[in-house]
Amino acid sequence: MKKLILTVFLFSNLIISQEKVTDTIQSLEQNLDEVIVEAIRIDKSSPFSFSNVDKKDLELKNLGQDLPILLNFSPSVITTSDAGAGIGYTGIRIRGVSPQSTNITINGIPYNDPESLGTFWVNLPDFTSSVESLQIQRGVGTSTNGSGAFGASINILTDKISQFANTEISNSFGSYNTLKHTVKLSTGIINDHFEISGRFSKIDSDGYIDRAYSDLKSYFIQANYFDENTLIKAITFGGHEKTYQSWSGITKEQMIENRRQNPYTYENEIDNYKQDHFQLHWSEQINNVLSTNLSLNYTDGRGYFEQYRDDDSVETYSGIVKSDLDENGNEIGTTDLIRRRWLDNDFYVLNASLNYNYKNLNLIFSGSYSNYIGDHFGEVIWARNFDKNYSIRDRYYDGNGKKNDLSFFTKVSYKLNDILIYGDLQLRKINYKTSGITSDLNNLILNKKYNFFNPKIGITHNLNLNSLVYFSYSRANREPSRSDYENNPDIKPEKLNDLEFGYRLNSEKLKLNLNAYYMLYNEQLVLTGAIDDVGAPIRSNSGSSYRVGIESEINLELSKKLDISSNLTLSSNKNKEVISNYNGALTNFGKTNLSYSPNFITSSTINYKFSEKFSIRALSKYVGKQFMGNIDAENSILDSYFVNDLNFNLRITPKRIFSEIIVSGLINNVFDKEYVSNGYYYTYDDNWSEPGKVITLDGAGYYPQATRNFLIGISMKF
């Protein structure tokens, strides 16, 4: 790897004096780049709620924290961090919907894990440094590749072609021994047709929570060929993460005692996982009205998490470990051991799209096929008493999951004077099979087949050159995850009808987006609040439920030096009726709040430019009270919180060696607030306190977020 970095570095500097490429070529490759995501992105005339984020927005705060944390100030967004400081295991919820119901694509390729349906950003550390732009579509949005969106979709476009040879070295450091090192390279355009670029990153952090360290490595390499009508991109990227586990959270009493404590004590209680992605994209501009895109993907993931188990039952590991003996030589049925739970998976994707755009008609045909194979197995690497017949790679559980996903969608928009009519039809066919046993030693034999039809229609009316109103209706269906089936073999897919109505204003000084939504669910897979033994959230069907709300987003330029942006979400998120076992009997709790769905979220950014080269931003975020369960229990409440960050950027343009030096700083939680953005809630039956009577008790765990902390970085470009 060191030789590869040195070779590319020397090569890029040898050709740094190449002749300037014309603006025509630059415009051409940018347009072809956009064909990769054109089938799933929307523009300002579309009848859906969305936000665009470009590279410049992300660079302002890109000092090592994960991509979800950098999106924290987007509308209707709540972010979480297990380690508390935004590095390692992080998550994002939009409109209160779990990450498992948020669709993520990278260059149009699904990133959600096909079995868990979640997204693990820890597997792509510093991926932000290779993001050209992204679009957040709230609600169902338009049809996309992969599993359907129930709260939002985030589609990411990676780095575009660089015209000129360049090298960028970025380093940052901060609280909790956080260090980030990034090297980016590009050859620039060679012989008017080729470009090779790459990035290599290393991030280390001890985490805010005790010993919740992160040891992260990642890379991104792409080779590009383009001519007048063709763009071919070969991309490989991936990461290797080692993180000390902090997924069990702490109790309220522990938080009062020491909010940074970590209950794990085994020195190697870690998650160790590698993931490599290989993508090939071929975009073709056939003529002035017709373009195509073909994409291939292979993802290879493999890794484990390691656990120390004290006095674990030997029945779980029959034939591998033997029981300890008491002082009288009798078996006690338990022993101490160290185990690893593995996931080894392969994911193949084929996407193809055809876009016809002539005068007032824009027509898109797209298809996607994916195949996933995942092996789940466990090993015991040490035990106090091994069975003599045990071999080191014997597995105490072994299971397999296979999933095929085939979808087609057609999108059409037609402009008639000041009115745009939009239609979108998607057919999705899923076949999911499992075999073997789970980590709980339960048989999991599934053969599930789903056929989903997801129509979407909308209309946009231009009021004048600067403003418009829109309305849309969308229907979505989404399958359960593997862990959903493990917890309940009879779990049902969720369905959603989404109505969106909005107004947009885009003038020179003022940009305003107003959106009202009504999301009506049937059998929504809601978070129960509980987590399993590996920290994964447990979901269940909730019958009928809804989310209704208003979102506003405003950007106001008060002067050339000062601009203000703000967003606000007011919502009501309800289960229409919750019936659950409580105190030994089925209890109707009536209408309750949906878990993890605050009614009030707002954030603001005040940006002051002292000059063209120096600016300071004050960022604020308020999240209202939320429940971690669905029965409105007092112990399930997460208190509201209000945090403020400060971000500065200084740009220096030396006359020698470096083309640009950027110094950035970020002070998170300026006022040193102690707050919690995430947790879990569970209930259990007590049969002992009162003989003959069942009493339901409850408990909760919390993930404290970091108090005041800082990150400072310097980027040198040449």
Q: State both tokens at 316.
A: 């779980």
Position 32 scores a pLDDT of: 66
- The Cα–Cα gap between 618 and 603 comes to 11
Decide if pLDDT at 545 tops 90: yes
By mean pLDDT, which of 139-148, 297-306, 469-478 is the weakest? 139-148
DSSP conformation letters of 429-494: EEEEEEEEB-TTS-B--EEEEEEEEEEEEEEEEE-SSSEEEEEEEEEEEEPPPHHHHHH-TT---E
* 123-135 pLDDT, tens digit each: 999 999 999 999 9
Look over the chain and give the mean of its residue pLDDT values, rounded to a whole number: 92
- The Cα–Cα gap between 263 and 82 comes to 13
Decide if pLDDT at 7 tops 60: no
Rounded to an integer, the average pLDDT of 638-662 is: 94
Position 329 scores a pLDDT of: 85
Helices first, then strands: H and E counts in the chain: 6, 36
N- to C-terminal Cα separation, the chain = 22
Q: How far from the centroid of its chain's Cα atoms is residue 701's Cα?
A: 22
**pLDDT bucket at 1, cuts 50 / 70 / 90:** very low
Domain 2-717 is found in CATH 1.10.1130.10:
no
**pLDDT bucket at 248, cuts 50 / 70 / 90:** confident
Decide if pLDDT at 337 tops 80: yes
- Domain ranges across the chain: 2-717
Burial-class residue 253 by CB neighbours within 10 Å (0-12, 13-18, 19+): exposed
* 675-687 pLDDT, tens digit each: 999 999 999 988 7
Comparing CA positions, the residue from 574, 573, 554 lying closest to residue 564 is 554
Rounded to an integer, the average pLDDT of 352-374 is: 95
**pLDDT bucket at 16, cuts 50 / 70 / 90:** very low
Rounded to an integer, the average pLDDT of 506-517 is: 96
- The Cα–Cα gap between 424 and 498 comes to 14
- Output the CA–CA distances (angstroms, integers) from residue 357 to 288, 365, 412, 455, in the order listed: 8, 12, 10, 21
Position 466 scores a pLDDT of: 95
Decide if pLDDT at 386 tops 90: no
By mean pLDDT, which of 101-110, 192-201, 251-260, 577-586 is the weakest? 577-586
